[in-house]
Structure 1
């Protein structure tokens, strides 16, 4: 083999290698676009969560306000009071929406 045949062989190999890498990159383009969209959505969700955390940190005055550190019996009583108040409010809303002729139903 002469020197120009070697140069031609190496050029063909380089072209084939470049074509193969280009083909693989072309096939990788769609998943990379989808990954970019997913990453941007995750970034937006993370920003929303961080904003909510910052909002909640402002409301939290001390560590003692955390439910984990409070008395479970007190928390149960508080929850029962809240549920009873919600039931009363719901009943009042229902009663206000009910027609006059249906008052005897309860």
Structure 2
């Protein structure tokens, strides 16, 4: 074989290798686009979760604020006060929705 045949052979190998790699990259393009879209969605969801965690951390000042670590009797009193307030608010809403002729009736 002469030198120009070797050059032609190597040129053919380089072109066929380039075509093969280009074909593989072309076939990977669609899955890579889908992966990018999925990663963008995951990043947005993670940002939302982190924002919610930050919001909850702002509400919780310390570990002592957890209900598990507080006095049960105090929590019971607080709960009963909340129930009384809710009943009063509900009664006020009901009274405001009653017709004029029924304001004197207690439910």
TM over 0.5: yes
Q: 1:70 to 1:22 in 2, by over 3 A?
A: farther
Largest Rg, 1 or 2: 2
Distance 2:59 2:42 in 1: 26
Corresponding position: 1:37 with 2:30: no
| Partner deviation per Cα, 1:10-30 (whole Å, 9 max, x = no partner) | 000000000000000000000
Distance 2:71 2:19 in 1: 69
Matched positions, count: 92
Corresponding position: 1:4 with 2:4: yes
Q: Which runs of 5+ in 2 are unaligned?
A: 98-107
User: RMSD of the alignment, in Å?
Assistant: 3.3
| Partner deviation per Cα, 1:39-96 (whole Å, 9 max, x = no partner) | 0000100110011011001000111223565679x98xx99xx9xx7xxx7xx98xx8
Note the 1:78-93 alignment, pairs <5 A.
none
Helix, strand or coil for the counterpart of 2:29?
helix
Q: 1:68 to 1:33 in 2, by over 3 A?
A: farther
Q: 1:38 to 1:69 in 2, by over 3 A?
A: farther
Corresponding position: 1:59 with 2:59: yes
Distance 2:20 2:70 in 1: 64
Corresponding position: 1:15 with 2:23: no
